[in-house]
Amino acid sequence: MRRKSTKRAPAGPDRDDTDERVRRSKHAVLTATYQLLTETGISGISVDEVSRRSGVAKTTIYRHWPSRSALVLDACSKLTPKRDAPDTGSLRADLIALASDLAHRLKTARWPAVLPSIIDAAERDSELADVYSALHSALISGFRIAVERGQKRGEISRKRSVTELVAAILGPIFYRRWFSREPLDKRFVTGIIDSQIGDKQSRGNRR
């Protein structure tokens, strides 16, 4: 009686070629979806349009992403609003650096054009609400770290709400970016920080 072989056939070139084709297809689909996101927002994304732009068949797209929301969810992972908190030894300097960087990116990066449509869609789609939550956390993380570090150094009261302080800093910046369209310059950003951490703190760091 012959004994069955337990050895598996090694992965040949056909399997390698197939894996590479899958990687290329997925990359093309995600790139096309991200481009549409930055051009039209979420409302302009459809599987038909992604298929047309990427050159990947709709059946292939649905094989990897069962829904439009799943595809958008994956594409949104390319949005990178996060910045690490600097550690200059001064809360004021850290916050000015973070706020100035954010103001610059709001004027020049691609993700700010997408954010309003994600906020809007998140009101009706729980999956996209998770995307927005992750983007929001990434956006404010550096500010939270800087403020908590400043509290430990005694530069600002530990009783001050970190969440409220970060909101008070970001609110005026977002207002100028999406509502008033006034300049987001260094003078404006510095004024926000000084108004929130107190005259005593800002004067002490200017000596």
Instruction: Choose the most confident range, by mean pLDDT, from 18-22, 38-42, 169-173.
Output: 169-173
The stretch 54-70 carries a mean pLDDT of 92
Q: How many distinct structural domains can be found in the chain?
A: 2
Domain range spanning residue 94? 79-206
d(CA 40, CA 129): 19
How much is the pLDDT for 204?
45
Q: Are residues 64 and 109 in the same domain?
A: no
In a domain, 58, yes or no: yes
Q: Among 130-139, 149-158, 160-169, name the one with the lowest average pLDDT.
A: 130-139
d(CA 37, CA 128): 13
How much is the pLDDT for 205?
46
How much is the pLDDT for 126?
84
Binned at pLDDT 50, 70 and 90, residue 132 comes out as confident
Q: How far is CA 5 from the centre of its chain?
A: 51
Q: How far is CA 32 from the centre of its chain?
A: 18
- Per residue in 89-103, pLDDT (tens digit) is 999 999 999 999 999
Q: Give percent above pLDDT 90 in the chain.
A: 55
At 78, the amino acid letter reads K
Q: How far is CA 206 from the centre of its chain?
A: 33
Q: Are residues 191 and 110 in the same domain?
A: yes
User: Residue 106: pLDDT above 80?
Assistant: yes
Task: Give the CATH number, domain containing residue 178.
Answer: 1.10.357.10
Domain boundary among 54, 77, 100: 77
Higher pLDDT among residues 205 and 198, named by residue: 198
Q: Are residues 24 and 89 in the same domain?
A: no
Domain boundary among 41, 56, 77: 77
| Helix, strand, coil % in the chain, rounded to nearest 5 | 75, 0, 25
Binned at pLDDT 50, 70 and 90, residue 66 comes out as very high
Q: Are residues 108 and 163 in the same domain?
A: yes
User: Residue 207: pLDDT above 50?
Assistant: no
Among candidate residues 92, 87, 88, 50, the one with its CA nearest the CA of residue 70:
50
Higher pLDDT among residues 175 and 207, named by residue: 175
